[in-house]
Structure 1
Amino acid sequence: MSGENTTVSGSGSSANPYVVDAVTNCPEVRRCLSAGWGILYNASTGVIEMDLSDDPGNNAVLRPNGLYVPTGAATVTAGCGLVGNGSASSPVRANTSTWTWPCAIDANAGRVYCDANGLLRTDPPPRMTYVEDGFTTTYADPVVPAGTNVTVRTDTLVIPNPDPCRAATVIFETEADVDFDLPVGARAAAGMGGDEMQAFINRGTAAMADVHWQMTKVQRRTIPQGQASLTENYVVSLGQGAGGATYNRIATQLRAWVFAI
C-alpha cells in the first residue's frame, strides 16, 4: 500500500518481500525550520550554517572539520596596574611590587577593596588635625581660697576626630597663668586638674603685685573609633590662700594635636 511520498512494492513473500521507498517533501520540512542565535538558515535552499559574529575581536572561524577558535583568541591587552594577556600560560594578574620592609607582609600590609562603583580602594589615608582655644578673664581681687586645689575656673575644648573609621590619638597641651597680689607675708598656690603646680609667699617687706608663673601640662587622650569628638574640661585650681592674698587675672590656653593613623 502506498501513501504520500511513499511507494510499496513486492508481495510480501520470501521470494518477493515488500520494498518501501519514501521521498522527503523538502518544502514541507523547511516550514518547520527557523534560524536562531548563532545559526543561519536559508529557507529557499534549505542550507543551515553557523552565524559568526563580525564584532571586533571575534577570532572564531568555520573550517571544513568544524568550528575553530585559534590559540590566544581569548587574550586581552592589560592596562595600567595589570600584566598578562589572559592565556593559560599568562593569566591576567595585578602588577605587584616586591615587599622590601623588614616586617611580615601578611601582618602589616594594607588592603585593597572594591567600592560600589567597581573602583579599587585602599585603606583610609592617615588624617591629622589641630585645634586650640584661649581664655583670659580679669577679676575684682577675690581672696585666694585657704583650702587645697579649690576649682575656680573650668574651660572646655571640643576635640574632633578627623577619621570616621579609626580611633584618634590626641596630644593635649594646657597652659595657665594666674596673677596674684600678695601683701607682706601672704601666701597663694595654683594648679591644673587637681594637681598643685606652684606656690608663692611674700617674705619681703613690701606688697607684691601681679605675681605669676605660667604652668604647662602635656597629656595624652584617645578618641574611640566611631566617636566624632571628645569634650575635654580643663580645671584651674587655687589654694593655700593666707595673709590677704588675692588674684586678679587667669589666662588659659588649650591645644590639641589629633592623629588618626
Structure 2
Amino acid sequence: MARCGCGSSRCTCAVTAGAGVTVEGDGSTATPYVINADAADVSCDDVRPCISAGPGAAYDPTTGVITAHLSTDAGNTLVVGGDDGLFVPAAAAVSCDDVRPCISAGPGAAYDPAAGVITAHLSTDAGNTLVVGGDDGLFVPAAAEATVTVGCGLGGDGSAGDPLAVATGTWPYACSADTSGGVVVCGSDGVLRGEPRGKASFVSYFEERMYPNLTVPNGFDQPGASFLTDVTNPDPCRDALLIVWREVDVDFNLPAGAGAGYGQDTDEMYYTRNAGSSLNTDVHVQTTKTFHNANLLGPGATVNIPLDVTFDRGTGGATYNRIQINIRVLMISL
C-alpha cells in the first residue's frame, strides 16, 4: 500500500474495522487483509413505506397485501374467480329481442320487428311492374308488346305505361259495396262470371175428399182432416223464401136452425147458420190464408207444408160431405 512502508512482505499500515465490518489477515502476501461487511437486518416496517400501488393494483402498507383494483365503471365484467385469480366471464348470448330493435327499414325494404322478417317494399305507384317471382326474388316482367285493346269493360293498351285494367262504374247505392256487393269470378272456361241469377218458382197442390154426411162436431178447433205436401227448392245455389197460400172449402148440409164452422189449425175461417125453415144443402165458402215459411229453404232442400182442417160449433144436426183444399207456394231466391 502506498506510503505505508509496504515494500517488505508485510504492510505496516494500520487497518481498523468499523461497525458491521470485520478485518482478517495481517496484510502480508501470504495472509492478506480480508474485509467483510455484513448487511444489517431489514424489517417489514423498513420496507413497506417504499412500496406503493399504480393503476390496476391496490396496496395496504399496514398489512403489506397487494390486490387487484377492479374498476367500478358501469359495464365492467372483470371479477375475482373462485381460485382468487382474475376472471372475465364469457359474454352472454344475444337474443333476437335484443337485436331486432336495432334494425329498421329504409327505402325499398320493409321490416317486421316482431317477427324479424325483412321483405322488399314494392311501390304502389301506378305503372309499377316489379313483383316477387316464384323463387321469392324480385322480378321485373319483360315489357309486353304494345297492343290495342278492343272490348267492353277493359281499358289500357297493354303496355307498361298503360296496362290493361278493368273499367269499373260508380257504386250508386247507400249500402257498402264491401258488404253488399256481388262478386265476379273466372269460370273453368276462362270467362268472367257473375253471381247466380235469381229464381222464382211456383207450385200448387190440390186435393178433394168426399164424406157420407158426417156430423160437424161442437166446440172449437175439433179435428177434421189433415193434408200434407212436399216442396223442394229448385235453386242449386241460393236459399229460397217461401210464400204459402192455403185454401179450404167445406160443403155443409144445414137443417133449419143448424150451424157449422171450419178453420185452419186453430183459426176459425168460416161460420154459417141456417136461419130459415128448410134444409140448406152443400153450403160452402172457399177461404184463403197466406203466410211465409218461418225459415229459408236451403238450395235443393225439401220441406213439408201441412194443412189441418178443423171444425167448430156444429149444432142442429149440421153435417159435411166434402173437403177441398189447395196449397200454393211461391219460392223466391235472389
- Give the TM-score, by structure 2 length: 0.53
**Structure 2 residue 107 is matched with structure 1 residue 107:** no
Deviation at 1:137, TM superposition (A): 2.0
**Structure 2 residue 243 is matched with structure 1 residue 180:** no
Query: Which residue identity does 2:291 align to in structure 1?
Result: Q
Residue pair 2:264, 2:309 contacting (<8 A) in 1 also: yes
**Structure 2 residue 292 is matched with structure 1 residue 220:** yes
Q: 1:240 aligns with which of 313, 322, 327?
A: 313
Residue pair 2:144, 2:158 contacting (<8 A) in 1 also: no
More deviation, 151-160/125-134: 151-160
In the other structure, the counterpart of 2:210 is 138
In the other structure, the counterpart of 1:194 is 266
Aligned residue runs from structure 1 range 54-93, under 5 A:
73-80=144-151, 81-93=153-165
**Structure 2 residue 249 is matched with structure 1 residue 249:** no
Query: Which residue identity does 2:287 align to in structure 1?
Result: M
In the other structure, the counterpart of 1:259 is 332
In 2, distance between residues paired with 1:138 and 1:237? 16
In 1, distance between residues paired with 2:158 and 2:226? 68
Residue pair 1:223, 1:230 contacting (<8 A) in 2 also: no
CA deviation profile, 1:205-255 (whole Å, cap 9, x unmatched): 222111112111011114333452221011111122222110011111111
Give the 4+ runs in structure 1 shifted more than 6 A: none
Residue pair 2:234, 2:300 contacting (<8 A) in 1 also: no
- Unaligned runs of 5+ residues in structure 1 are 1-70
What value does the CA root-mean-square deviation take over the aligned residues?
Answer: 2.1
Residue pair 1:223, 1:229 contacting (<8 A) in 2 also: no
* Structure whose residues are more often strand by fraction: 1
In 1, distance between residues paired with 2:222 and 2:149? 72
- Unaligned runs of 5+ residues in structure 2 are 1-141
Deviation at 1:77, TM superposition (A): 4.0
Q: What SS is found at the alignment partner of 1:107?
A: helix
Residue pair 1:128, 1:162 contacting (<8 A) in 2 also: no
In 2, distance between residues paired with 1:103 and 1:212? 51
Gap change, CA 1:205 and 1:124, over 3 Å in 2:
same
Residue pair 1:164, 1:228 contacting (<8 A) in 2 also: no
In 1, distance between residues paired with 2:172 and 2:247? 44
Query: Which residue identity does 1:193 align to in structure 2?
Result: D
Query: Which residue identity does 1:247 align to in structure 2?
Result: Y
In 2, distance between residues paired with 1:121 and 1:141? 61
Query: Which residue identity does 2:145 align to in structure 1?
Result: A
Q: 1:164 aligns with which of 226, 232, 236?
A: 236
Q: 1:128 aligns with which of 191, 200, 205?
A: 200
Residue pair 2:240, 2:299 contacting (<8 A) in 1 also: no
Residue pair 2:250, 2:286 contacting (<8 A) in 1 also: yes
Deviation at 1:154, TM superposition (A): 1.8
Deviation at 1:82, TM superposition (A): 2.2
**Structure 2 residue 283 is matched with structure 1 residue 211:** yes
- Give the TM-score, by structure 1 length: 0.67
In 1, distance between residues paired with 2:146 and 2:319? 87
**Structure 2 residue 230 is matched with structure 1 residue 148:** no
Query: Which residue identity does 1:243 align to in structure 2?
Result: G
In the other structure, the counterpart of 1:30 is none
Deviation at 1:151, TM superposition (A): 2.4
In 2, distance between residues paired with 1:161 and 1:77? 47
In 1, distance between residues paired with 2:146 and 2:253? 88
In 2, distance between residues paired with 1:216 and 1:107? 39
Deviation at 1:85, TM superposition (A): 2.4
Q: What SS is found at the alignment partner of 1:209?
A: strand
In 2, distance between residues paired with 1:176 and 1:224? 25
